[in-house]
Amino acid sequence: MSKLGLDPAVVAKARRLAARAAEPIIEMARTHTTVSVERAVLRLAGVTGADADGTPWVNRIADAVREQVGLEHGVALPVFHALREHQDPRELVRARFEVPEGAHAVRAGKRAREAVARGIARIDANRAERDRLLGKHGDPDPPWVYLIVATGDIHEDIPQAQAAAREGADVIAVIRSTGQSLLDFVPEGATRQGYAGTYATQENFRLMRAALDEVSGELGRYVRLTNYASGLCMPEIATLAGLERLDMMLNDCMYGIIFRDINPKRTFIDQRFSRQIHARAGIVINTGEDNYLTTADAVDAAHTVIASQLLNERFGHEAGLADAQLGLGHAFEINPDLPDSFRLELAHAQLVRELFPDAPLKYMPPTKHMTGNIFAGYLLDAFFNLAGVLTGQSIILIGMMTEGIHTPWLSDRDLALENVRYVRRAAGALAEDFHPAPGGLIVERARRVLSETVDLLDRVADDGLLNAIADGVFGVTRRPADRGKGLDGVIVQADGYYNPATEILQERP
């Protein structure tokens, strides 16, 4: 039952337009590959480790294949053909590669598929294990409390994450080191140094998941782990997340393009593969629309958030994600000096809730208007928590009163959790009593944002999404399709391109 009285025909029109805008991008993603997609295939096939300089073997092998025969046919056929003679990755990087034909191609394809299937079987087993642990420890009721740790040292992150879980966090996110998104390789091993965050590595994933399993057992509540499938290595990080049973992953369709100047084509191709992995792994993706509001005005740009959510939904569905895996993002970023700012926030949050009733929405706390006055910030965070409870948000990222000053201290997190616990206890099921007056400010504002969304998607569907991104429609930043980092890693698939991972993932279990 819509509290906002949204017109179902307008909602349906918005979805149709989003699908039309997404279609050419999906077609491009189907017919292209990237260096990182191919490296992810090698990771699924069981290639691990790095050379003495720390360059992962998957990079060395993919580079060697590309140099000798190109990646137009995918990495699987040349590598598994060469594997007849070389078993060890250290030898493989020195192999003579060729694209096999005829019976050789059939045999190499079969062996590649068997190897990748073992990796996907591990992802399936992890999904089953998560379900088992959710049954054993219990799945917390929404809204899930989402907290960040980010010391740079995985061995310092672990006790902090466990402490946060004991204090009530349902989801732990380990923020990545600044600039990891621009690395075209995934670092190896446990890491103890980072810039304002901790590197995403397979070993760090494994260590943190094990630590949270331990504390989940202690608490009788399954604590979820989140990281970031974004940047130049998005497909590989998604794969590692599946292999190490991470539970949620940040994975936005446009974040890297807009905020990291990663090439738009690279991003969309990488993203489709990543989402196919996430779909299979039962991972909930978190999208990044909240970020648009850190550059654009939260009132003026509200409709760009909704438009991006509809696009993220379409891309997600196409890649096989269920509604329950679409953690669409939005944020509480309206200038608190504005009259009625809280009512406007409620209008936006309720609109998102009603447009995506089955999606585990991720609601982000204020950051732009946190001034360093920690006392005022604490109050603003309480209003954010109240808006979350009142509009039935699913995943609430906990606001820190020291936002913008430093990465959260132990005491910052503790106080933030005290804030959210009070609001939840005091407000209870207040959402039941929240019925915006028909024709009132909240209802009218929500309708207006929706109608602006339809107008915007109409233009985007006509002009093309890549052109809209080039024109700076989202997040104010202009990103042309032929610019940005990572374009040289985009490859048009040749006839006979073979990717066993995509093949298996598209068959669906």
Partner 1 sequence: MTVSVDTIKQIIRPYGDTTGDAMVQVSFTLPVPHGPRAESAALQLAGKMGLDPATVVHSKPMGPDFTFFIVYGKATHLIDYAGIVVPEGREYPLLTPKQVNLAIKSVLGRKLVVVGACIGTDAHTVGIDAILNVKGFAGEKGLEYYREIEVHNLGAQVEVAELVARAKEADADAVLVSQVVTQKSAHIHNTKQMAAAFADAYPTSVTGGLGRPLLVAGGPRFDTVRAADLGVDRIFGKGTTPGEVASYLVAALVPSWSPE
Residue 42 bridge partners (DSSP) = none
Buried/exposed code over 421-433 (b: 16+ C-beta within 10 A; e: otherwise) = eebbeebeeebee
> Which of the following is catalytic: 146, 222, 247, 362?
362
Q: Which is nearer to partner 1, 66 or 485 (CB)?
A: 485
**Residue of 170, 252, 290, 381 marked catalytic:** 290
Among 2, 68, 294, 467, binds partner 1 (CB under 8 A): 294
Contact flag: residue 214 with partner 1 (CB under 8 A):
no
Interface with partner 1 in residues 259-278 (CB under 8 A): 259-261
Residues β-bridged to residue 174:
149
Is residue 193 at the binding interface for partner 1, with CB under 8 A as the rule?
no
182 touches partner 1 (CB under 8 A): yes
x/- site string to partner 1, residues 376 to 415, per CB under 8 A? ---------------------------xx----xxx--xx
Q: How many CB atoms lie within 10 A of CB 307?
A: 28
- Could you say which DSSP state residue 485 is in? B
Check residue 175 for interaction with partner 1 (CB under 8 A).
no
Is the separation of the CB atoms in 308 and 292 below 8 Å?
yes
For residue 414, the minimal CB distance to partner 1 (Å) is 5
Query: Residue 249 in contact with residue 283, Cβ under 8 Å?
Result: yes
User: Residue 404 CB, nearest distance to partner 1 (Å)?
Assistant: 4
265 catalytically annotated: no
Both ends of the chain: CA-CA distance in Å? 34
| Annotated catalytic residue 222 | no
Paired tokens of 499: 């990717």
Interaction of residue 364 with partner 1, rule CB under 8 A: no
CA angle 306, 312, 316 (to 5 degrees): 145
195 touches partner 1 (CB under 8 A): yes
Binding piece for partner 1, criterion CB under 8 A, among 31-39, 66-74, 450-458, 470-478 = 470-478
Which of 255, 363, 378, 498 is labelled catalytic? Answer: 255
- Please, which residues bridge with residue 492 across strands? 32
373 binds partner 1 (CB under 8 A): no
Q: How far is the CB of 477 from partner 1 (least distance, A)?
A: 5
- φ, ψ at 330 (rounded to 5°): -155, 175
What b/e readout covers 217-254, taking b as 16+ CB neighbours within 10 angstroms?
eebebbbbbbbbbbbbbbbbbbbbbbbbbbbbbbbbbb
Q: 3-state class of 269 per DSSP?
A: helix
Question: Residue 43 Cβ, how far from partner 1 at the closest point, in Å?
Answer: 23
Confirm or reject binding of residue 297 to partner 1 (CB under 8 A). Answer: no
DSSP secondary structure, 317-339, as one string: HHTT--GGGEE-EEE--S-TTST
Q: Is 255 a catalytic residue?
A: yes
190 binds partner 1 (CB under 8 A): no
Q: Is residue 477 near partner 1 by the rule CB under 8 A?
A: yes
- Where on the chain is the footprint of partner 1 (CB under 8 A)? 163, 166-167, 178-179, 182, 195, 258-261, 294-295, 367-368, 370, 403-404, 409-411, 414-415, 475-477, 485
Catalytic residues: 255, 290, 362
